[in-house]
Amino acid sequence: MMSRPLVSIVIPVYNVESYLRECLDSVIGQTFRDIEIICVDDGSTDGSGAVLGEYAAREPRMKVISQANAGLSAARNAGMDAATGKYIYFLDSDDYVMRKMIERSVEICERDQLDQLIFESEVIFENVGFSENQRKKKVRHYCVPEEFAGTIWSGAGLLERLQNVRRYCVNVQTRLFLFEALRRTGLRFEKGLLHEDQLFTPLTLMESERVEVICEKLHVRRFRRGSIVTSTGILADARRFASRVLIFIRLKRNFTERGYKERWPAIVDKRLHAEHGGIVSRARPMVVMCALFLIPDTATSGERIGVLYLSVLLSGYNVVRRIKRLLFG
């Protein structure tokens, strides 16, 4: 009988043939060897499946799951279902990790008995049209403020303090989770959403009793042309807007149902205020009109009404705000 690996690494894969080898090499080459690598081929139509087959044939720690295209969340969930490690890490297949990423993360998690460890990302830009200011903001987003390192926090306490200095990073790739603690939350990645980490990671943090942050760049975040984050145009913006409104609705519901609103009202209000601000800034009339036809299929009828109501309300609010700015500066 094979022993249980200490760490499960889940890698969703969809049409990333150009980046997949670098990602897999970074995982297979980890100094920490007691891992399982779960790759979920989410219906790739390029050569990604062949690359996975090639690597799996020579790497016994690697398992490949193939499924019809269902999106990033579904692929991560499939990987989570197959995972058996004490810890779990989610890596995007166009990113990669530093050679000692797992060794260093496990060392700290074991020493301090953590539910979750948060680390930094090095950011690289590949053929994307970001301005210099946008690049600086993204680099800063993936850095942990030094004053928060070296302390074991409650998840809610850390979220409060990071929000106070506007330095909360939602990306799941910057976290190693104690798998049992994650399972106890009952949380899954919501299918059909874009930017699903906006919903998943705040809730995992609120559920965590022992969390630590370190100012070490253990992950490499790649911004590339053609990804979900960098895609442009009215339809791309509308899909993101529809997902963000639905995420806001579900966050608000979860905060109430899980008792967070009652226990930590100030933290919850600040998180919702931040999400609201992100939606308002994107609520251009044409984007909102298109978004109403692009509400994710997973939305319930009640949520659809909520998306419709909030979209129209926020669009009107944004228009009034812009008129005031034009008239009064």
Domain with residue 93: its CATH number is: 3.90.550.10
Q: What is the pLDDT of residue 325?
A: 65
* Cα–Cα dist 20/91, whole Å: 11
Is residue 3 scored above 90 in pLDDT? no
Q: What is the pLDDT of residue 16?
A: 95
Of 69-73, 157-161, 317-321, minimum mean pLDDT range? 317-321
Q: What is the pLDDT of residue 287?
A: 78
Is the torsion defined by CA of 248, 161, 201, 234 positive or negative? Answer: positive
pLDDT > 90: percent of the chain: 66
pLDDT band at 277 (very low <50, low <70, confident <90, very high): confident
Of 55-59, 93-97, 155-159, 320-324, minimum mean pLDDT range? 320-324
Is residue 320 scored above 60 in pLDDT? no
- Of 224, 247, 276, the last residue of a domain is 224
> Region 245-262: what's the mean pLDDT?
93
Is 229 among the domain residues? Answer: no
pLDDT band at 290 (very low <50, low <70, confident <90, very high): confident
Do 39 and 79 lie in a common domain?
A: yes
Do 44 and 152 lie in a common domain?
A: yes
Do 194 and 292 lie in a common domain?
A: no
Is residue 222 scored above 50 in pLDDT? yes
- With beta carbons less than 8 A apart as the criterion, state whether 206 and 115 touch: no
Tokens of 211: 């969390």
Is 21 among the domain residues? Answer: yes
- Of 197, 224, 251, the last residue of a domain is 224
- The pTM (predicted TM-score) of the whole model is 0.90
> Region 100-108: what's the mean pLDDT?
98
The residue among 312 and 10 whose pLDDT is bigger is 10
Q: Give the residues across from 88 on adjacent strands.
A: 8, 177
pLDDT > 70: percent of the chain: 91
- Residue among 162, 10, 175 nearest 105 (CA): 175
- Residue among 164, 199, 173, 171 nearest 185 (CA): 199
Integer-rounded Cα Rg, in Å, for the chain is 20
Q: How many domains does the chain have?
A: 2
Can you give the residue range of the structural domain that contains 140? 7-224
pLDDT band at 11 (very low <50, low <70, confident <90, very high): very high
Chain-centre distance for alpha carbon 151: 23
Sheet containing 87-90, strands listed edge to edge, beginning at the edge strand earlier in sequence: 62-67, 35-42, 7-13, 87-90, 175-178, 116-126, 211-224, 96-97
Do 290 and 240 lie in a common domain?
A: yes
Is residue 1 scored above 50 in pLDDT? no
Q: Any idea what DSSP says for residue 33?
A: -
SS3 category, 195: coil
Do 217 and 188 lie in a common domain?
A: yes
Do 99 and 64 lie in a common domain?
A: yes
The residue among 39 and 311 whose pLDDT is bigger is 39
- Of 167, 199, 224, the last residue of a domain is 224
pLDDT digits (tens, 9 = 90+) for 26-66: 999 999 999 999 999 999 999 999 999 999 999 999 999 99
Query: Half-sphere exposure of residue 39, counting CA atoms within 13 Å on the CB side?
Result: 30
SS3 category, 60: coil
Do 102 and 245 lie in a common domain?
A: no
The residue among 249 and 329 whose pLDDT is bigger is 249
* Cα–Cα dist 52/311, whole Å: 41
277's CB contacts (< 8 A; 6+ apart) are none
Residue 138 — φ and ψ, nearest 5°? -70, -40
| Residue 320 exposed, middle or buried by CB count within 10 Å (0-12, 13-18, 19+) | exposed
Place of tokens 């209000």: 269
- Residue among 126, 118, 306, 293 nearest 214 (CA): 118
Is residue 267 scored above 90 in pLDDT? yes
Q: How many CB atoms lie within 10 A of CB 162?
A: 19
pLDDT digits (tens, 9 = 90+) for 144-194: 889 999 899 999 999 999 999 988 999 999 999 999 999 999 999 999 888
